[in-house]
Structures are given as C-alpha cells and as structure tokens.
Amino acid sequence: MDPRDRVVIITGASSGIGAATARCFAEAGAHLVLAARSHEALEQVAAGLPRAIAVPTDVTDPVACAHLVERAVEAFGRVDILINNAGIGLTGPITHLARADLERVLAVDLLGPIWLIQATVPLMRTAGRGQIINVSSVLAAQPLPFLGGYAAAKAALEQISNALRIELHGSGITVTVVRPGTTRTAFNQRRLGHGRERRRIAPPGVPPEAVARTILRAARTEPRMVYVSWSDRLALWISRMVPGLIDSILARAFVWEEHSVQH
C-alpha cells in the first residue's frame, strides 16, 4: 500500500536499518510509531521527523508490545503497517552456545515479532487491511558457520511469516519477509556470544538506506519476500545448486578464534 498517511510501527528504530527506514517512510508521508529500548536515541530519531512518535519498548515483553500498539492507536487511530525490524545477533560454535544468549536471541528476533503480530492483527482484521513486514536475513536460507543460532531464529521467523500469510489469506492483510545481506550498521559489534569468527571473505555490505528503500518498495508492492541486492539473491541460488561446494568454501573461509570460547 502507498505509505502516504498510513500508520507504520517500526521496531528497532533507534539505529541502523530501523532508523533509516523511519526516515524513508517519513519522506513518503507516513505517520510513524518508533520503538526500541534506548529512549534517548529513539527520541532523537523521532525528533528529526514529521508525524513521528517514540514509544520506548522492549519487544521481548508482550505487555510492552501491546502497549506500543495501544499508543499507536491513541496517537494516530489505527495501525496499517507493522515493521518487525528489531533484532540482535549471536556468534559462536553451536557446541558452545550459551543458554542465556540463545534464549535472548530467540526472545528478540522471533518472539518479539510474534507478540507484536498478536497485538496488531486483530486491529488490521477489523480494518480489513494491513501489512506485516518481518526483517529476516539471507542467513535464514544459507547459514554461515558460527552464526547458526542467529540464523535459526531468522529461519523460524520466516516460517512464522509463511504460516501467518496462509492464516490471513483473504483478510486483506499481507505478510512480507525482507532478506537483507551484510549491512553496514552497528549490528555486528552488538552481537551476543563469546569470541568472534575470523572471516577470510568479508563482503563490504550495503548502507542501511539501501535496506530502508527496499522495505519502502515492499510496502508499496506487498510481495511475499524481497532481497536488497541481486548479489544476495545470486549467492543463495548458487548455494542451492551446489550446497556441498558452498559448505567446503565456507568451512575454509570462517575460522573461530578458539581461545576466546568460554567453557
């Protein structure tokens, strides 16, 4: 749908892709309800934009998610588009992933979107229209070594999206998955987990504005899934064609810094 005059909730709007998406949708004339935990950063993003309010929210808390949607309705009367963008990463060999880190990444990347979907869909059903946009990752389709916990959370988010799309068939509500590849944000510095992988191949990535423009286009065209770059799409196609070769290339390209693993 055309975002002009639409009410759009964007989570993870305090930085990176979420903040860029907020700017993009503001330019397109949307009313914005911006959510993240950091009050100050969020207020700063909202203050620079017309028709935007900041609602500090921890998406892992279902009550806070319900409150976010209530605030959107109080401020603008409805919710047209929900963009589940808040996310955190997790690094580490599967054999060493800590329970607390795994639970956290699932709480933010998978459960948070579900709480917001549950709070938003009833309103959209009554309105007879709406769009849910879930920001996933190319890693949902082709995990990289030492990023399996994060990839699993995003893969699960995609299956939730796919099931939801069928459940909402005929309701006027559409569900879109966005699959960015490497994006130049603070995301990698904020990843959970002990230690870091050393990469022999490190794509430069795209700026967050490129992902934001893709999300805006996805709002207009309401596809099932969108990629940000053709190279991401091509890489996934190759990994489907020759999975064994890709496994062996990735196994050589990524090295875990063993000394930093916490036992």
- The span of 33-41, 90-98, 229-237, 250-258 binding ligand NAP (CB under 6 A) equals 33-41
For residue 21, CA distances in Å to 15, 96, 163, 202, 246 come to: 10, 35, 25, 25, 32
- Residues 2-31 touching ligand NAP, rule: CB under 6 A, are 11-12, 14-18
When the beta carbons of 85 and 229 are compared against ligand NAP, the nearer one is 85
Q: Which of 87, 92, 148, 193 binds ligand NAP (CB under 6 A)?
A: 87
CA–CA distance, 214 with 27 (Å, rounded to integer) = 14
CA–CA distance, 128 with 4 (Å, rounded to integer) = 18
For the bound state, the minimum distance from the C-beta of residue 179 to ligand NAP, rounded and expressed in Å, comes to 8
For residue 180, state whether it binds ligand NAP (rule: CB under 6 A).
yes
**Number of chain residues interacting with ligand NAP (CB under 6 A):** 30
- Which residue is catalytic, options 15, 150, 227, 229? 150
Q: Which of 86, 121, 133, 218 binds ligand NAP (CB under 6 A)?
A: 86
The 10 Å CB-count burial string (b at 16+, else e) for 7-31 is: bbbbbbbbbbbbbbbbbbbbebebb
CA torsion, ordered 162, 94, 187, 18, to nearest 10 deg: 20
For residue 36, state whether it binds ligand NAP (rule: CB under 6 A).
yes
When the beta carbons of 125 and 145 are compared against ligand NAP, the nearer one is 145
Decide: 212 and 18 in contact? Cβ < 8 Å: no
CA–CA distance, 258 with 70 (Å, rounded to integer) = 47
Tokens describing residue 216: 């805006």
For residue 97, state whether it binds ligand NAP (rule: CB under 6 A).
no
Query: Footprint of ligand NAP on this chain (CB under 6 A)?
Result: 11-12, 14-18, 36-38, 41, 57-60, 85-88, 108, 135, 137, 180, 182-183, 185-187, 190, 208
